[in-house]
Every structure is written in structure tokens, then in C-alpha cells.
A and B are shown apart, each in its own frame.
Chain A
Amino acid sequence: MKSQIALIAALSLPLLGGQNDTFLIRNATVHPVSSPQMDNASVLVVDGKIADVGSKIAVKGKIRIIEGKGLHVYPGIIDSGSPIGLSEIGSVRESVDTGELGDFNPQLRSIIAVNPASEHIPVVRANGITSVMVTPGGAGGGRGGSGGSLISGQVSLMHLDGWTWEEMEIRRGAAMQITWPAIASGGRFGDGDAPPAFAARRTTFAEAKRTQEQQVQKIREFFEEAKRYQLAKSSGAAGFKPDLKFEAMLPVLSGKMPLMVVAAREREIREAVQWAEREQVKIVLAGVRRAGKMTEELAKKNIPVILGSTFTTPLEEDDPYDEPFTLPGELAKAGVKIAFASFGTQFARNLPYEASQAVPFGLSYDEALKSVTLNAAQIWGVADQIGSIEKGKIADLIVTDGDPLEIRTQVKMMFIKGEPVDLESKHTRLYKKYLARP
């Protein structure tokens, strides 16, 4: 109750000042993530940027002060993959804009279809998430999958605040989403728990492998074509005509844009890594569930991994019961850079807890916190802008009454680009309305 009063008081403060994106948070416990926590410290934000962090900050002139006593300041949390803004009600096709038709859609840019007024955005923000990699792939391929497509489009990194998607944008083409084809034999990979009704529809391994090889071949050919296009364009070949698909591939071929490769299991990971090496493209693996013997290679080759939810069950019947919980720790210990993604909308607000779920099972707390902040920023090439509380970075900040990876913790304030953000949502509005029902 007491903390709620403090919240109201604190929230009303920014409104008093003239310039919203300039203020000082003081006497708080600051968790820069890039460096150890600082007690009784201050964060100075000027024009939406972090101007200074420390225990003693000199402020010239009049500035809005936010009293941070008893509160904690963290960098805003980053979700490394979610269709937020593209998908409103999962079961209503009309409200879903993920999963475009066709095998190869590198020209698609997810952010341009993001609905800035999506009800999901404020809901997710309320738990401290300030930016998201918006994935264009459909949900059909499971967590992190891209539906039917092989290349489903460009993943855009965006802030969870703005009147238009342009205002939300951090990087339009932050990555290219591609799904590495898996050999899908059997009803379910694993212990054959599927009822015989499924078993009747089983495809044999040979059939599945053939299909998979054809898909891989398609990817190879597409890249070959893209390279021919690149060459034709750079050499100014006669009769060259622009093609949006191949145009979109140029930053991938030149290594400027990483590929977010959805690959769940060791075999797909192995094939994708080998392929990427041959093609000399930069990759980030996503939706990884079992890296197996590839783990060390990923570490050695500095290939980062975006983990799907830890809130899942073990892959095989005989796997240890805690297998999904230990995976992040195992990867991190091996030296693989990890980040987390919700790969969905309805549970996207639980992203921080997906990371902390791995903590009692071997992931260090610091790494867990990084995996939803600084690691993500580094992986997506924006560590100079977001992911930690450092001088010069964008002021994406959350002020909490505790550890943001703990469920009970309340996010008291949020700043995106230094602007205070409303933490109310459809949910809080309905809460108030019906709590007050006579």
C-alpha cells in the first residue's frame, strides 16, 4: 500500500517539469548491468540520453528530480523476438499479420505493419520491457518458427512507445529471419507418445529428409541468385533491373545484417552453421532447444543464441525433468552469448521470468539480467544505444521496487528515450473499473 502511494507521487513528478526527457533520478540503487550495482546513486538524463551515472552528479540549473529512495534503476528490458504489434488475437486471422505467403520474403519489413495502438504494447511494458525485435514469421512453426516461409522477412528492433511506428523504430532491418529446415519425420520427434492416430500420418525419415534437402537446396539457390544480383549490380551489368527481394539481401550478403536463424536442434544448428560459413554470412541462432555437441563450436565461433521460453517441457521422455531450465546456464557457461525472446504476444510480459527461471538451475544472476538487456543489445548491434545504463546511451530506464526478474517486483516508472511512459493498460483499466463495481 505504501509503495503504491510512492508510485503515484513519483509518477506525478515528471508532469510538472517543462521538458519531459530531462531529469535526475537520485538516491536510488542503480544497476547499470555493464558495471556493478551502485547504491545511493543518481542517473542524469538530458534530452533523452543518459548524461551521467554515479553517486555524485553535479547538476547545473533547475532540473526535475525523481526521488529514488528505496527504488532501483535498471536499463529497459529487451525482448529478442516477438510478433508484438503484428498479432492481436491469436485465433483471429484478421488480427494477425505474421507469416506472409511464399518461401522467400526478405523484402518484408516487420515494423511497417506494427500497430502502435496494439493493446499488447502497454501490457508488456508494464513489466519493464522497453524494446522488442519484431519478428515477421508466422506462429505455425512453433516457438520462434516462421510458419511456412524459409525467409520470412526483416526483424525490426523497436521501442515500445511512440505515436507512429516511425517514432518507435530503433533499427528497421536489425536482422533477417530465416528458418533452417528440420527433418520432420514421425508424428513427434522423440518417444513416440503420439497416439496411433498421429502415427498413421507419419512420414518416414527418408521422405522427410528428401523434403528437407529440397528446402535447403532452395535456400542455396536463392542465395546464389542474390549473389548474382549483387555482382550484376556492382559491375553495372547491362540490362540490370532492380528487384526488391534481392535488393533486401544485399546487407545480408555484405555482412551488415545478421541472419536470425531459427534452428532448434543440434542437426539444424550444425547444418546452419556450416552453411553460414560457406556463405560467409553472419548468423544469430534463435529458438535453440538443444545445441548438444555444437555448444562449444558456437562459443568458439561467437555465434550468439536467442533462447525461446524456458517455460517448456523436456524434449524427450527420458530427459532430465529440468532440461529446459538448465539449458541457458549450460550455454552461458560454455561461453555462448545468450539472450531471451518471448516469441509470442500473450506471455511476452513474462520475458524477465523466462530468464530468472534458469537461475536456480545454473545460470548466474548477472548473466540472466544481461540476457534480457545488454547481451541482446550487443547481439543486435545496438549496444552503443541501449542495454545498459551508461553515459551516452538512450535513456530506456525502469524504476522498480526490486529485482525485475522477480515476479513480485513492481515496475514503478518507465522511461523510453527519456520520456516517461504510462504503465497503465487495458488490464489496469478493467481492473479499476470492475474492482469498483458496486
Chain B
Amino acid sequence: MRILTLTLMTASWLCAQNTIVIQNGTIHTVTKGTFQGSIVIRDGKIAEVAEKVMTPPGARIVDATGKHVMPGIIDAHTHIALDSINEGSVSVSSMVNVAEMLNPEQINIYRALAGGVTTANSLHGSANSIGGQNVLFKTRWGQNAEGLIFKGAKPSLKIALGENVKRSGNPQGGGFQQGAQQNLRYPGTRMGVEDVIRDAFTRASEYQKEWKEYDAKKARGENALPPKRDLQLDPLVEILEGRRLIHAHCYRSDEILMLMRIFDEFNIKGVTYQHVLEGYKVAKEIAARGDGASTFSDWWSYKVEAWDAIPYNAAIMHKKGVLVSLNSDDAGGAELMRRLNTEAAKVMKYGGLTEDEALAMITINPAKQMQIDKWVGSIEAGKDADIVIYDKNPLSMYAKVEKVFIDGKEYFDRDNDITERPRKEAEKKGLTEKEREIEKKSAPQTRRPS
């Protein structure tokens, strides 16, 4: 009996240990409205969200009075935390996987986290028509690469169209390695881009067939050599079989349409158009296919294909029934990732969308595009406790992130960050001084035999 009581007590104590209650804040659930209330987090998941909740004894209380609470921000398109981004030497580089390049110690992860981003989709670059495999991860700063990966998510592949692709294989484009002069990489036009993509999926279909034939032979008991596994075509077959998503970098309406027609031809679904700055011109067609669009808030004029870009792009596409998200495309540093909340405010300015519609574009919409909305993207019971606490309305320029939880664990706390600063400085100073001291000691003592 005593043992049983003890066990029970331990159990409840443990349970309370894993329980956090974010109390009395303005909760922007994104999907279920905004209200004054509390969130109970248990074992990394959201257990309850309501105006009044049941607080278990021993739970950690986070007072959110006067503060704003929203789901962790999801960046559908970034390039941070990768040790390499492009394998641009060939036009189809689907064999490479940026997940292998995930560098969990890159400071950008922390900076993005401090800006409220809890899930990031780091993509292969746009140097070639069919790029590499992408990586979806959570900004669990301090974990190793494996620990960052968003488990259970469908994998995805990058496709790119237009100027970057044309430029990368072309010596005038710069950035390409020695020998490029004699070795121009096809394609150099949008027509060629279409060809490369259609050809790749055609080859993938043939490869898929080869395997099916082999399987059939084996089933018949024939002695047959299996086809050779081709790491380039495997991911394309996964796309044909609906097991992998596509993120397609595109700008102009004609090329967006072109790509959609290839997808129709090969019956490919699960596409999100990236940047898609002229998406507003073909919003109807995008909506008809049920594809997603992930765009910038207000980028334009940096190149010819961005000349017709308008900040109303997201709003028009949204109004015409396209699932729209906003992304950062950060590569050098996590810059825009730190303020996707105010980027979202721009769809209110340009196009008059509501607060919820704006926040959806950096939370639930990208989650849906990446088919991870059953886990993240809103504050709902049962979802991962990926939560950001702001001191003010996150759509205001005057708001800043105070705390970030991922899977119910606090990964960022502004006060801690500030109090930690002097310690870090001191540690650095200590190491520098130590090194100089050693250098001084081991310097040649001018005992040169003369």
C-alpha cells in the first residue's frame, strides 16, 4: 500500500514536472480565434487551451498577463544552418540532400529561434532545374543534427526555374568554378528548363518501370539482375508515387504555368511554389491544382523576373483560394527569419487581410503546405507545444519575443540570454588571456647558439 502510494506520488510529481501552464495571456491560436486564456502543456504537447484551464499542482507557471502568445513561427523557405546549399554543377542534383549539411551549431539557428521561429524548412539552392533534397527541422538549439530534424515529416525536393538556373550554368553568371568557359551547363533558357524537368521525370518513370519489371520477374521465379539503384532518380520516383513533396522556386507567371503542366502530365501533387512573385497573375490556376504558394512580403526589382513583383501578391493569391505562406529565404544569416511576425503584418497593409489571416501565413499555412499541420502551426490541444510569447501583439513593430517553447521545452528566454552575456564575455576573455600567456612562454627565448 505504501509502495503504491509512493509510486502514485512519484507519478504525479513526474507529471507535474512535465507540465507547464502559460497563464492568462492573449492567446492567438490562429485557427480557433484569439482570446484571453491559458495553455496547459504536458509532455511536450498542448494538453488544453481555454479561457480557464485546470492547473495541476507542481506545474510550472509562466505568467503571460499582458502578453501575447502565438504558435511557433514556421519558415517554409530558408537556407540557414547548412554547410552547403547548392550542388549546381549538374542540372539534376536530386541525389544530394541538404539534411546531411545541417549544422546544428550554426548561430543562425539560435537567432531564428530568438525571432520566434520554431520550424524551418532549409532548402537546396536554386542553381539548377532540379536541385537537392531539403531538410525540415525545429530550432532546438543545443541538440545535434539528428535532434533538430522534424521527425515524421514527408521529405521534399527542390525545383528551380528562371534566371538563377539560366545564370548558374553560364559563365557570365559568375560563381561557377574553373573550366566553366568550355563547359556550359544546359539549359540556358526557360525552354531548356522545361526540357530538363520533363526529361528527368521521364527517366524516373522508366526507372520505376525497370524496378517493377524486376519485381515481376522475381515473383515469377526468374533469375534476374536487379536494376542498379540510382540515387538521382530515387527521389523523383518518390515524387511520382506521392511520397515526396516539391518546393519549386519560380517567378514569372509563364514558368509557373509551364511547371504546373508538367506536374499535370506526371500526375504530381504536393507542390508549393516558392517566391512565386507573379503568382498573383495565375492565382486561379494555382488554386485549381490545389498547390501552395510561399512568397515574400514585399521584395521586388532586384532582378528582371522580380520587376512585376508586388506586395499584394500574398493577398491576391489568398483571396483567390491559394494556400499562401510567407518565408524568409535567408541564406547568409537569419535576418528575415527574426521578424517574420512583422512580415506577416504586411499582408494587412497590402491587401487588407485580417490578423488571423496574417498570422496563418507564418504558422498554419506553411504547416499545411509541408503536411505537418497535424503537429504544428496552431495552438490546439494535441499539437506540439511550439509556442512563442511576445510582450506585445506580434504583428506590431514594437513587439519582441520573450520566450520560445519547442515540444514544451523552453529553448529561448530573453532574460536568460541577457544575464548570460557577461559570463560568456568573461569566458572569452579568459581564453584569450590564457592563449597569450602560453604564447609568451613558448616563444623562442632567443637562446640561439651564436
Is A360 in contact with B333, judged by CB distance below 8 angstroms?
no
Instruction: Decide: A349 and B298 in contact? CB cutoff 8 A.
Output: yes
| Closest Cβ neighbor of A321 among chain B residues | B114
Residue contact B302 to A91, C-beta cutoff 8 Å: yes
Interface assignment of A437: CB less than 8 Å from any CB of chain B: yes
Interface centre among B114, B307, B345, B398 (most CB of A within 10 A): B398
**A312 contacts across to B, CB distance below 8 A:** 333, 335
In the complex, the answer to whether A346 meets B302 with C-beta atoms within 8 Å is: yes
User: A1-18 toward B: CB 8 Å interface, digit per residue (1/0)?
Assistant: 100100000000000000
Q: Which of A317, A360, A410, A434 contacts B107 (CB 8 A)?
A: A317
A431 and B310 contacting across the interface, CB-CB below 8 Å? yes
Q: Interface on chain A toward B: helix, strand, loop, or mixed SS? A: loop
Task: Specify which chain B residues have a CB less than 8 angstroms from the CB of A189 in the assembled complex.
Answer: none
Q: Are B342's CB and A407's CB within 8 A? A: yes
Q: Collect the chain A residues with CB atoms within 8 Å of residue B106's CB.
A: 193
Within 8 A of A (CB), among B338-397: 338-339, 342, 345-346, 348-352, 391-392, 395-397
Does B397 lie within 8 Å of A406, measured CB to CB?
yes
| Segment of A36-44, A252-260, A351-359, A376-384 in the binding face | A351-359
Cα–Cα distance between A4 and B351 once the two chains are bound (Å): 11
Q: Which chain B residues numbered 95 to 132 have a C-beta less than 8 Å away from chain A? A: 106-108, 110-111, 114
In the complex, whether B421 has a CB less than 8 A from a CB of chain A is yes
Asked if residues A427 and B312 are in contact (CB atoms below 8 Å), the reply is yes
Q: State the CA gap A318–B424 with chains docked (Å).
A: 8
Closest-CB distance, A46 to chain B (whole angstroms): 33
What separation, in Å, do the CA atoms of A405 and B316 have in the docked complex?
25
Per-residue interface assignment for chain A, residues 310 to 329, with 1 indicating a CB less than 8 Å from any chain B CB and 0 otherwise: 01111001101110000000
Q: Which residue of A lies closest to B307 (CB)?
A: A89
B243 at the interface (CB under 8 A from A): no
Is residue A58 within 8 Å, beta carbon to beta carbon, of the partner chain? no
- A314–B115 Cα distance when bound, in Å, is 13
Say whether, besides A91-B302, A431-B351, A408 and B345 are in contact (CB < 8 Å): yes
- Whether the Cβ atoms of A359 and B301 lie closer than 8 Å is no
Out of A89, A313, A322, A427, which one reaches B310, CB within 8 Å?
A: A427
Q: Find A408's partner among B114, B338, B348 (CB 8 Å cutoff).
A: B348
Q: Across the interface, do B304 and A92 meet the contact criterion of CB distance under 8 Å?
A: yes
| A265 CB to nearest B CB, Å | 17
Say yes or no: is B417 at the interface (Cβ < 8 Å to chain A).
Answer: yes
**Chain A residues closer than 8 Å to B336, beta-carbon distance:** 311
Complex formed: what's the CA distance from A356 to B392 in Å? 14
A109 and B110 CA atoms in complex are apart in Å by 44
Q: Is there a chain A Cβ closer than 8 Å to B211's Cβ?
A: no
B409: interface (CB < 8 Å): no
A346-B399 contact given A313-B111, A431-B312, CB 8 Å threshold: no
Task: Please give, as numbers and ranges, the residues of chain B lying within 8 Å of A321 by CB-CB distance.
Answer: 110-111, 114, 338, 417
Q: Which of B283, B335, B349 contacts A407 (CB 8 A)?
A: B349
A347–B299 CA distance with the chains assembled, in angstroms:
7
Interface flag for A34 (CB, 8 Å): no
Please give the number of chain B residues whose Cβ is less than 8 angstroms from any Cβ of chain A in the complex: 55
Does A346 contact B342, Cβ atoms closer than 8 Å?
no
Q: Does A82 contact B (CB under 8 A)?
A: no
Q: Interface 1/0s, chain A 213-246, versus B by CB < 8 A?
A: 0000000000000000000000000000000000
With both chains docked as a complex, state the minimum distance between the C-beta of B249 and any C-beta of chain A, in angstroms: 16
Q: Does residue B280 face the partner (Cβ distance < 8 Å to A)?
A: yes
Is B263 an interface residue, CB under 8 A from the partner?
no
Q: Are A408 and B398 in contact (CB under 8 A)?
A: no
Q: Which of B264-301 contact A (CB under 8 A)?
A: 280-281, 283-284, 298-301
- A435 in contact (CB, < 8 A): yes
Interface residues of A in 253-300 (CB under 8 A from B): none
CB pair A346–B281 under 8 Å, yes or no, is no
Query: Least Cβ distance of A360 to chain B in Å?
Result: 4
The answer to whether A434 and B281 touch across the interface, beta carbons within 8 angstroms, is yes
Chain B CB within 8 A of A345 CB:
yes
CB-based contact B298/A434 at 8 Å: no
Question: Would A320 and B351 count as touching, CB distance under 8 A?
Answer: no
Residues of chain A contacted by B351 (CB below 8 angstroms)? 431
Out of B284, B310, B398, which one reaches A356, CB within 8 Å?
B398
B397 touches A435 (CB 8 A): no
When distances are taken between beta carbons in the complex, the residues of chain B under 8 Å from A195 are: 83-84
Interface string of A409-434 (1 = CB under 8 A from B): 11000000000000000111011001
Docked-complex contact B333 and A313, CB < 8 angstroms? yes
B188 is an interface residue with CB less than 8 A from chain A: no
Bound together, the chains give a CA A287 to CA B351 distance in angstroms of 33
Question: What is the bound-complex CA distance between A199 and B283, given in angstroms?
Answer: 45
Q: State in angstroms the CA–CA spacing of A4 and B397 once bound together.
A: 23
B400 is an interface residue with CB less than 8 A from chain A: yes
Q: How far is the CA of A407 from the CA of B110 in the complex (A)?
A: 26
- Chain A residue contacts of B352, Cβ below 8 A: 1, 4
A229 to B312, CA, bound (A): 55
Beta-carbon contact of B304 and A346 below 8 Å: no
Cβ B303 vs Cβ A346 within 8 A: no
A367 interface residue (CB < 8 Å to B):
no
* A320 (CB) vs chain B CBs: closest residue: B421
Interface centre among B348, B349, B428 (most CB of A within 10 A): B349
Query: Which residues in B have their C-beta under 8 angstroms from that of A353?
Result: 342, 397
A90 x B110 contact (CB < 8 A): no
- Chain A residue at smallest Cβ distance from B330: A313
**Any A CB within 8 A of the CB of B308:** yes
B321 smallest CB distance to A (angstroms): 13
- CB contacts (< 8 Å) of A88 on chain B: these are 301
Task: List residues of chain A with CB within 8 A of the CB of B396.
Answer: 406, 408
Which of A4, A322, A426 has the most chain B CB atoms inside 10 A of its CB? A322
Interface string of B153-171 (1 = CB under 8 A from A): 0000000000100000000
- B41 close to A (CB within 8 Å): no
B334 within 8 A of A: yes
Contacts of B424 in A (CB 8 A): 318
Report chain A residues within 8 Å CB of B304: 89, 91-92
Contacting pair B345 A407 (CB below 8 A): yes
Contact residue among B299, B303, B391 (Cβ-Cβ distance under 8 Å from A91): B303
Task: Answer whether residue B311 sits at the interface, using C-beta atoms and an 8 A cutoff.
Answer: yes
Q: Closest chain A residue to B280 by CB distance? A: A434
With known contacts A91-B304, A435-B316, A407–B346 Cβ distance under 8 A: yes
Q: How far is the CA of A361 from the CA of B299 in the complex (A)?
A: 25
Contacts of B345 in A (CB 8 A): 406-408
Distance between A428 CB and nearest chain B CB, rounded to angstroms: 8
Bound CA span A259–B163, Å: 39
- Nearest CB to that of A1 among chain B residues? B352
Complex CA gap A116/B399 in Å reads 37
24 A-B pairs with C-beta separation under 8 A: A89-B302, A89-B303, A193-B106, A195-B83, A312-B335, A313-B338, A320-B421, A322-B114, A346-B300, A346-B301, A353-B397, A360-B400, A361-B400, A406-B398, A407-B348, A408-B345, A408-B396, A427-B312, A430-B310, A430-B312, A431-B316, A434-B281, A435-B316, A437-B283
- Pairs A-B, 10 closest by C-beta atoms: A313-B333, A356-B397, A431-B312, A91-B303, A407-B345, A427-B310, A360-B400, A321-B114, A90-B302, A346-B301
Q: A313-B108, A360-B391 are in contact. List 14 more A-B contacts (CB 8 A).
A: A4-B352, A89-B307, A91-B303, A92-B303, A321-B111, A321-B114, A350-B298, A360-B392, A407-B345, A407-B349, A408-B349, A408-B395, A427-B310, A427-B350
